Amino acid sequence: MMDAKTLIARRVALEIKPNTLVNLGIGLPSMVANYLPEDVHVFFQAENGVIGLGARPPEGMEDPDLTDAGGGFITAVPGAASIDSAMSFGLIRGGHLDMTVLGGLQVDTRGYLANWMVPGRMVPGMGGAMDLVAGARHVIVAMQHTQKGRPKIVPECTLPLTAERRVSLIVTELAVIKPTENGLDLLELAPGVSVEEVIAATEAPLNVRDTPSVMKLVDA
Amino acid sequence: MKTAIKPETAAEMVPDGAVLHIGGFMGVGTPNRIIDALVARNARDLTVICNDTAMPGVGIGKLVAADAVSTVIASHIGLNPETQTKMIAGDIRVELVPQGTLVERIRAAGYGLGGVLTATGIGTPVEDGKQTIDIDGITYLVEKPLRAGFALIAARQADYVGNLEYTLTAHNFNPTMAMSADCVIAEPHHIVPVGVISPDAVKTPGVIVDHLIERAA
């Protein structure tokens, strides 16, 4: 049995279209890059200033001036460009970023995402998350379906919102869900998961029209 | 022609209570030798405008640990537990600003604009207490310019007239901050003769740079 994060990353990888500019959040979303089909060429943006983020360099070959948004050492792929923060966020807000993949704390029936703070407990700051959700053409939330058994897909976010915008798609280890103006459509089920199991793990109402298809995955 | 000064001299120029832009992203592209000199001279009550407060023991994190900072205006403090602890204890005031808004507020100040209109932050706590404006059916927040007394910036190299070239992810906020302060102090990795940096490669023209930090011993 594949772990939840790997399954989510392998499903999200299918959403990435060739010749696009994509921003992956830190943590689970960054795993998506590992499962990109070989024939799909994209440029990954690191919002701290690289278009064309590459893999971690070999030990001892790191450049202290070439890092990702989490401060980890990276490389730049052929064709890469280095940019300053004003242009980096101009790309994000200005409609030039095709897709962002972000983690989530809550998503609600409206498709609104909360992913940057838990009042009184965790106040790290929003970093680039608000600009990414407000500005990227497609926003994919890649997250585990529940946290310690508590549903993260809820009728209305109780945590402060990241943006007042309907995200494009939610991918969890149980299901693929598409927020629409009529609520949350259950599109796909993970292998071996039933509609009832997804409903039980989801606090928000789900629209289940036909029999949802089984989640397709990028080959490992 | 600029005169290169010592980090200690730069730290003496920055008075307690000053408002600073400090370049860097998680410590990358941060003027570390000026920061060390500010810590050594026991600077106090600084307002620091920066993307983040790095990590404990790194870059701006050293100023936080030394109690040199009373106010932080940043997009992210999550990787520095010391900043969070001091914020909760009431020792540091923290204003959190979305990253793209932060850089544009700094840019607005440096480019002579009265502010920024952005949709980022609408419907979130960032909107609280701010004016909104509708333009062609889209609602924008009005975000004010953010200027500093000093910009402390890092660059890959400077030439003798102060032209600056940056490298890779060490650009980040540096070129924008250099436009947006009364006094600009640049700490380059290298200082090279005029002509070595091609005019096309100059991202910050030397005419706006007030001081260069001399090369490391």
d(CA A87, nearest CA chain B) in Å? 9
Q: B171 — contact with chain A (CB < 8 Å)?
A: yes
A128 token code pair: 């680039």
Backbone dihedral angles phi then psi of residue B29, each to the nearest 5 degrees:
75, 30
Give the pLDDT of residue A40: 87
Cβ within 8 Å, pair B75-A127: yes
Q: Which tens digits make up the pLDDT trace of A61-120? A: 999 999 999 889 999 999 999 999 999 999 999 999 999 999 999 999 999 999 999 988
In this predicted structure, the answer to whether residue A218 has a pLDDT above a threshold of 90 is no
Task: Using the predicted structure, report yes or no on whether residue B203 has a pLDDT greater than 80.
Answer: yes
By annotation, the residues of A acting in catalysis are: 47
Percent of chain A with pLDDT over 70: 99
User: Is the pLDDT confidence value at B18 over 70?
Assistant: yes
Q: Is the pLDDT of residue A220 over 70?
A: no
Mutate which: A23, A63, A68, A84, vs B, most B CBs within 10 A: A84
* Mean pLDDT of the region A179-203: 97
CB atoms B120 and A130 under 8 Å: yes
Q: Where are the beta strands (DSSP E) in chain A?
A: 21-24, 43-46, 50-54, 75-82, 99-102, 106-108, 113-114, 138-142, 146-147, 150-151, 153-154, 169-171, 175-180, 183-189, 206-207, 213-214
pLDDT average, residue stretch A160-167: 97
Give the Cα separation of A23 and A43 in Å (integer). 9
Interface contact A134, partner B, CB < 8 A: yes
Report helix angle B99-110 to A85-93, nearest 10: 120
The confidence score (pLDDT) of residue A62 equals 97
Q: Is A64 on the interface with B (CB under 8 A)?
A: yes
Least CA distance to A88: which residue of chain B? B100
Comparing B157 with A38, the larger pLDDT belongs to B157
pLDDT at residue A210 in the model: 79
Q: Does B123 touch chain A (CB under 8 A)?
A: yes
Residues A117-132: pLDDT tens digits?
Answer: 998 888 899 999 999 9
Residues of B in contact with A124 (CB under 8 A): 76-79, 84
Q: How far is Cα B62 from Cα B29, in angstroms, rounded to an integer?
A: 15
What is the arrangement of strands in the sheet containing A106-108, beginning at the earlier edge strand?
A113-114, A106-108, A153-154
Predicted local distance difference test score (pLDDT) of residue A68: 92
CA–CA gap between residue A137 and residue A120 (Å, rounded) = 32
pLDDT at A1: 61
Chain B residue with minimal CA distance to A50?
B169
pLDDT at A121: 81
Tell me the three state secondary structure of residue B37.
helix
Q: Do B84 and A134 touch (CB under 8 A)?
A: no
Q: Which residues pair with A75 in a beta bridge?
A: A54
Is B125 in CB contact (< 8 Å) with chain A?
Answer: yes
Average pLDDT value for residue range A169-176: 98
Contact B122/A at CB under 8 A? yes
- A132's torsion region: left (phi>0), alpha (psi -120 to 50) or beta? alpha
Give me A205's structure tokens. 């109402």
Q: What is the pLDDT of residue A2?
A: 80
Confidence of residue B216 (pLDDT cuts 50, 70, 90): confident
Between A and B, how many residue pairs show a Cβ–Cβ distance under 8 A?
149
- Annotate B53-80 with b (16+ C-beta within 10 A) or e (fewer): bbbeebbbbbbbbeebbbebbbbbbbbb
Predicted confidence (pLDDT) at residue A8 exceeds the cutoff of 90: yes
The mean of the pLDDT values for chain A is 95
Query: What is the pTM assigned to this prediction?
Result: 0.96
Alpha helices in chain B (DSSP H): 7-13, 32-40, 60-65, 81-89, 99-110, 174-178
Euclidean distance between CA atoms B78 and B53, whole angstroms: 8
pLDDT at B35 over 90: yes
